[in-house]
Amino acid sequence: MSHLRWLMREWRGGELALLLVSLLLAVTIVSGVAGFAERLQRGIVGESHQFLAADLVLKTPRALPAEAFAELPDGVETARVIEFRSMVVAGEAMELASIKAVSERYPLKGELTISDEPFGLPLASREIPPAGTAWLDSRLFPLLGIEIGDALQLGDVSLRAEQALITEPDRGTSFYGMGPRVLINEQDVARSGVVQAGSLVDYRYLFAGASEPLAQVQTALQPQLTVSDRWQSLDDSQPQIARTLERAERFLLLAGSFGVALAGVAVALAARRYSQRHLDTVAVMKALGAGSSQITRLYVGNILLLALVSALLGWALGLGVQTALFAMIRDLVGFTPPAGTLRPLLAGAITALLCVASFALPPVLRLRSVPPLRVLRRDLGNESLSSGVSAGAGIAGLFLLMLWYTGSVELVLAVLVGVAVILGLAGILVLRLFTSLRRWAQGAGGVMKLALSAMVRRRQANAFQVVSLALALMVLLCIIAARSSLMKEWQLQLPTDTPNHFLVNIAPDQVAPVDAWLDQHDIRSAGLYPMVRGRLVTIDGQDVYEIPEIEANRGSVNREINLSWSEQLPEDNKLTSGHWWTDSNDAMAQVSVEEEFAERLGISVGTRLGFRIGGLPLEAEVSSLRSLSWDSMRPNFFLLFEPGVLEAYPSSSITSFYLDANDKVLLNDLLSRFPTITLIEMDAVIRQARTVVDQVSAALELVLVLIIACALLVGIANLQASLDSRLHENAILRTLGASRQLIRTCLLAEFALIGLLAGLLAGVGAEICLYLIQTRLLDMEPSWHPMFWLAAPIGAASLVAVSGWWFCREVIVAPPLQVLRRL
């Protein structure tokens, strides 16, 4: 008999629908979420290359001879960037600017954004400034008192200010001390004459291409390099957004693997019911002469066909999920999603096969051993559906699925062992409880006694039901809670009025007028912090350049650091060791150091640090280490002194404030009033970060919906599994004279009890799992959820009671004989 025809006939039975939906969901989740994650990953990698404006960068303080790049391997593109500081002059006005001269084809990755007017709307540009022109940071226009089209002087060359420069991909994040940017053409550097031998110049040679030829470039150039030359690749510049997306991706994968596990359970339940319902069919077919191999072929073929169908359908649905997910995060990712590969199809097919092999086949394969004598004696063959093997196969399948999906043995082992222990204990407990109902039953009278003892008789099925419902609920609670705590953390990092503009270099006599100006325009600042610039020169009396361990962290000592002082520990700082200022008679000044900075330089509480500030030495002892929240966008300092130490040194102040995009024109006024103040705009970065949060949460929501669907499926499969025996028993009870009222009460009570227990277990289990997920997987503070303990049992009890009653309403409403005849 043809499998297809058989499948079509079987389909009408109805049991296959649930099996197919469960399989389909598993495949959809895998191919949708995993496919999305894969494409996102590739996209992020591509995106992150923009932050270098290339795939690989050679950074050097000297110009390399052109011959060095004469022979590049095929497929490698290259461009040059020269960066230096120089004065730019327009009429009377002069400004120290950070000049960036670029060659044709810059940037190799990402794009320049410019605007027709200062602080105007951004436009992408594919070109670089033509020779003889310059693109200027918006804030330079008011500072120099010029407009678009006016001329400015850079050394010997006169350039026309043609565009306002909004941003370049490789602008970098080290914004302190960097002057306003002027982007020019490489050809104008020589003509300007400002770059002389000995000038402080950064040369960057950009390369883009596949990793093979890039590696060749690296080897070829290596002999010509000195210690001062450095290669930069992606790993050095992992941007913030990529980190957020990565976390979101990890969450998606976790949620996805839970979803797949749930779908697997649903498959197992559906397959169990399917084979239960086919015991009679198989017995009849065997009596009619079907051999067990024929039965096997028919049913296994059937299931495999189902797997194939769900693999294909699920793949298509998965593509839909991917598209939806990308649509949700469209403004966030600067890239068009890379084309999908066939991997999700393969992944989906493997999922379908694994699900089928470990969850569906064991119960179905047992059909082959149904004795034909069952046609005469219906009680035969029931026991053949033992759950031991199915459970073993199921767990093995789950393990493989989750392992393959998350790629982490530890994670999967931890989750599975944890879940197994919780559920195992729970199962025993629940079984005990149901058994103890027996005593109750003894005491009860009449039909109530029958109902209670039916419950006791079904105790194994009921315990199983409680445990599997608890599992579904637990997963759901975990995912909901993990999602909302991720979201809360993200939102906390970026409240809507997060400061998005910094003012640095505010002279002491400007502090009051700037404060007044901000007040006048209703702009709330984070306060003005005094700041002294100095270098760290000795650690415990030793010259920092002579400490070998510091070699790798030259950047931390090679530059001027911002030093500040404060009476109180700043709001979002946390002491991690030592004490805040102590009243000591010690003459030595006290300083508090940011912990990561301290770690890089091997500094701990008690270390003595030597500084040089404006030519004067200062010695201080570390009294505490602090952690900072860099995301708060307030001025933060690696080094904070106790009050009274730095006041004597020349200082400037720094502040940050929030400014709406519509109010940005105000900055023209501010900067022309206080031309020496440096403005740093962070609004684009923050806006981007906020879009990340908004859109990633939308994506997480979609996945949540899939998980809810899985949990519902498990619930439905679960209720259906026990439906036949329940209908049967209750119909008999009714023929024996039980009133509808009693049956309804019994049913509701039994289901409510099942839901209550499941909810309780799920609440406890979710709390434990969440603790592990938050601390181990998402690197977050664990949170507690007292609501779970209350809401989960009550919610589950009412939900299960209502849906259980709905599924069984027939036995309450219909005449019992009808029910009995149908079964």
723 lies in the site for other proteins, by CB under 8 A: no
Strand-pair partners of 653: 506, 530
Q: Which is nearer to other proteins, 9 or 524 (CB)?
A: 9
Give the residue among 91, 88, 74 at the shortest CA–CA distance from 183.
Answer: 88
288 lies in the site for other proteins, by CB under 8 A: yes
371 lies in the site for other proteins, by CB under 8 A: yes
For residue 613 the two structure tokens come to 């500030």
CB of 412 to other proteins, least distance (A): 39
CA–CA–CA angle 408, 411, 415 (5° rounding): 140
Stretch that binds other proteins, among 50-58, 172-180, 292-300, 579-587 (CB under 8 A): 292-300
Contact assessment for residue 592 and residue 639, using Cβ atoms and an 8 Å cutoff = yes
12 lies in the site for other proteins, by CB under 8 A: yes
CB of 392 to other proteins, least distance (A): 26
Pick the binder of other proteins from 193, 291, 320, 513 (CB under 8 A). Answer: 291
Pick the binder of other proteins from 96, 121, 373, 648 (CB under 8 A). Answer: 373
339 lies in the site for other proteins, by CB under 8 A: no
- Residue 292 CB neighbour total at 10 angstroms: 14
Cα–Cα distance measured from residue 426 to residue 181, given in angstroms and rounded to the nearest whole number = 65
Q: Which is nearer to other proteins, 423 or 819 (CB)?
A: 819
- Name the pairing type of β-strands 93-102 and 77-90: antiparallel
Strand-pair partners of 89: 94, 153
Q: Which is nearer to other proteins, 294 or 798 (CB)?
A: 294
Contact assessment for residue 159 and residue 151, using Cβ atoms and an 8 Å cutoff = yes
For residue 564 the two structure tokens come to 């500040």
Pick the binder of other proteins from 77, 246, 280, 694 (CB under 8 A). Answer: 280
Cα dist. 646→471, 508, 573, 613, 656 in Å?
60, 14, 20, 9, 22
- The burial class, CB within 10 Å (0-12 / 13-18 / 19+), for 240 is middle
Give the residue among 180, 21, 20, 19 at the shortest CA–CA distance from 88.
Answer: 180
CB of 813 to other proteins, least distance (A): 18
Q: Which is nearer to other proteins, 321 or 370 (CB)?
A: 370
366 lies in the site for other proteins, by CB under 8 A: no
Cα–Cα distance measured from residue 130 to residue 452, given in angstroms and rounded to the nearest whole number = 89
Q: Which is nearer to other proteins, 470 or 811 (CB)?
A: 811
For residue 401 the two structure tokens come to 């699925």
Q: Which is nearer to other proteins, 377 or 521 (CB)?
A: 377
Binding to other proteins (CB under 8 A): which residues in 377-406?
377-378
- Name the pairing type of β-strands 93-102 and 181-185: parallel
10 lies in the site for other proteins, by CB under 8 A: yes
CB of 384 to other proteins, least distance (A): 13
Strand ranges for 743-814 from DSSP E = none
Strand-pair partners of 656: 502
CB of 806 to other proteins, least distance (A): 21
CB of 758 to other proteins, least distance (A): 32
822 lies in the site for other proteins, by CB under 8 A: yes
Cα–Cα distance measured from residue 431 to residue 455, given in angstroms and rounded to the nearest whole number = 11
Q: Which is nearer to other proteins, 384 or 672 (CB)?
A: 384
SS3 state of residue 448: helix
Stretch that binds other proteins, among 10-18, 126-134, 428-436, 457-465 (CB under 8 A): 10-18
- Residue 324 CB neighbour total at 10 angstroms: 14
DSSP label at 126?
Answer: S
The CA-to-CA distance between both ends of the chain, in Å, stands at: 27
Stretch that binds other proteins, among 369-377, 427-435, 619-627, 687-695 (CB under 8 A): 369-377
Stretch that binds other proteins, among 283-291, 303-311, 332-340, 722-730 (CB under 8 A): 283-291
Instruction: Mention every residue, 6+ apart, whose C-beta is less than 8 A from residue 430.
Output: 462, 463, 466, 467, 757, 761
CB of 311 to other proteins, least distance (A): 24
Pick the binder of other proteins from 113, 133, 276, 281 (CB under 8 A). Answer: 281
CB of 14 to other proteins, least distance (A): 8
Determine the longest span between alpha carbons in the chain, in angstroms.
110
CB of 375 to other proteins, least distance (A): 6
User: How many binding residues for other proteins (CB under 8 A)?
Assistant: 27
Pick the binder of other proteins from 289, 388, 445, 615 (CB under 8 A). Answer: 289
Q: Which DSSP helix (H) or strand (E) runs through 261? A: helix 240-277
287 lies in the site for other proteins, by CB under 8 A: yes
Pick the binder of other proteins from 237, 240, 294, 387 (CB under 8 A). Answer: 294
CB of 359 to other proteins, least distance (A): 22
Stretch that binds other proteins, among 78-86, 161-169, 375-383, 526-534 (CB under 8 A): 375-383
CA–CA–CA angle 253, 256, 258 (5° rounding): 110
Binding residues (CB under 8 A) for other proteins: these are 1, 9-10, 12-13, 280-281, 283-294, 371-373, 375-378, 822
